[in-house]
Amino acid sequence: MDNKEIQIISQVCAKIAADLTTKDEDTQVTADRFGVLLSLVQEMVFDSIDARLSTKMESADVIKMVKQTFPKATETSGDSQGFTVNVQGEQHGELPAWLLSACKRDGVSKVFDNRNQLSENPKRPWFKAVGADKAYWEPKGKARS
């Protein structure tokens, strides 16, 4: 499994744990309950995945199974499957998933790719919407690709 798949499954586990957590007036008690439930849910889910992967199930099948089992938990994950963005001018590499998610959210279907000019001006947006006042930078905490 790659890192993106692990992140998606972990988000689903967190959603399940949050749904199972009973709220208390004491925030620390609620947080402790959530932590215990999250640990248990993740252990059960990842143990199940490991067992299935050892029987030659592909990780894509696991992601599909999780999405089918928990559609509401995964639908807000910024999934931009089926959404395309066209690049006006020259495209400088593959378009990152975060851009597709942001463009889908904003209703932008055409962008300029400025990644080739980042060394000259690192504050420049990575992508700029064509005909709209939208600019996109890589989200903080992401490794540059």
pTM (two decimals): 0.43
| Mean pLDDT across 61-84 | 59
pLDDT of residue 76: 36
Residues 6+ positions from 135 with CB-CB distance below 8 Å: 125, 127, 128, 129
Percent of the chain with pLDDT over 90: 14
Q: How far apart are CA 98 and CA 101, in angstroms?
A: 5
pLDDT of residue 79: 47
pLDDT in tens, 43-65: 888 888 877 766 655 666 666 77
Q: How far apart are CA 38 and CA 90, in angstroms?
A: 45
- At 120, the pLDDT band (50, 70, 90 cuts) reads very high
| Mean pLDDT across 9-20 | 89
| Mean pLDDT across 82-107 | 87
Q: How far apart are CA 39 and CA 92, in angstroms?
A: 41
CB atoms inside a 10 Å sphere around CB 101: 16
pLDDT of residue 75: 41
Q: How far apart are CA 84 and CA 103, in angstroms?
A: 9
